[in-house]
């Protein structure tokens, strides 16, 4: 961490880079707290930090820190990291170490907890614009669609629609998968309705 003052949120006399570094240092301190409440408070402040200091180095560092929280934290913290990714979509292209960010989030897909896997799928869907053709993620989404857990399947449907908007190849491949799921006799009415809505989105996906 960079050794600058932590109180520069209200200090307009310093250089913007110093203000940004001190702000990030303060939020990083919150992320490292042993109290979940303080960690959450730090996480939800990142979108405002990105708006105030839209510097690639700061945003890259921030997302790597958030990915670490996602990898190591509980599902409540993962939910808040997901929301940051969704709220900060226009800044995602400033992530410089995409592979490292992806590795940390993707590791949660190996969890035995279907809710954790679902949050990972949704987070990957939220950042689809910067990883549209990652085959390992595509395969993970397909596995999610075959899950026996409803939460995980719904997350995979969300991720599919997100990736289909950025990858024509993926959209075409998943149209057949969704069609098969809709036609499957074991698919419940509520799930079938979700799939039909998603299928329309996927069918129109791709740039």
Specify whether the CB–CB gap between 123 and 70 falls below 8 A: yes
CB atoms < 10 A from the CB of 101, how many? 23
Section 54-79 average pLDDT: 97
Q: Compute the residue count for the chain.
A: 207
pLDDT attached to residue 15: 60
Range 14-44 burial, b when 16+ CB lie within 10 A, else e: eeeeebbbbbbbbbeebbeeeeeeebbebbe
- What average pLDDT is seen over the chain? 89
Q: Read off the pLDDT of residues 123-175 as tens digits, 9 standing for 90 and up.
A: 999 999 999 999 999 999 999 999 999 999 999 999 999 999 999 899 888 98
Q: Give the pLDDT confidence of 164-185 residue by residue, as tens digits.
A: 999 989 988 898 888 888 888 8
The percentage of residues in the chain with a pLDDT greater than 70, rounded to a whole number, is: 89
Q: How confident is the model at residue 6 (pLDDT cuts 50, 70, 90)?
A: very low
φ, ψ at 154 (rounded to 5°)? -60, -40
**pTM: predicted TM-score of the whole model, two decimal places:** 0.86
For the chain, which residues make up each domain, given as ranges? 1-96, 116-207
Q: How far apart are CA 72 and CA 68, in angstroms?
A: 6
Q: Which residues contact 3 (CB under 8 A, 6 or more apart)?
A: none
**Which comes out higher in pLDDT, residue 205 or 117?**
117
3-state secondary structure of 187: coil
Q: Which two tokens stand for residue 63?
A: 């997302």
Burial of 114 (0-12, 13-18, 19+ CB in 10 A): middle
Q: Is the pLDDT of residue 95 over 90?
A: yes
pLDDT at 36 over 90: yes
């Amino acid at each position: 961490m960079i050794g600058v003052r932590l109180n520069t949120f209200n200090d307009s006399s310093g250089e913007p880079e110093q203000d940004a570094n001190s702000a990030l240092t303060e939020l990083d301190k919150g992320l490292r707290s042993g109290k979940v409440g303080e960690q959450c408070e730090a996480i939800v402040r990142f979108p405002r930090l990105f708006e105030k200091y839209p510097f690639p180095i700061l945003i890259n560092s921030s997302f790597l820190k958030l990915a670490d929280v996602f990898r190591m934290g509980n599902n409540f913290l993962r939910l808040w990291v997901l929301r940051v990714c969704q709220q900060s979509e226009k800044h995602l292209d400033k992530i410089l170490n995409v592979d490292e960010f992806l590795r940390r989030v993707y590791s949660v897909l190996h969890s035995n907890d279907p809710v954790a896997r679902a949050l990972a799928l949704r987070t990957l869907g939220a950042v689809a614009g910067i990883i549209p053709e990652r085959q390992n993620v595509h395969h993970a989404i397909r596995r999610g669609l075959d899950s026996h857990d409803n939460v995980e399947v719904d997350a995979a449907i969300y991720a599919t629609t997100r990736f289909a908007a950025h990858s024509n190849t993926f959209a075409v491949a998943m149209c057949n998968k969704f069609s098969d799921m809709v036609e499957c006799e074991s698919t419940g009415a509520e799930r079938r309705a979700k799939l039909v809505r998603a299928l329309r989105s996927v069918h129109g996906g791709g740039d």
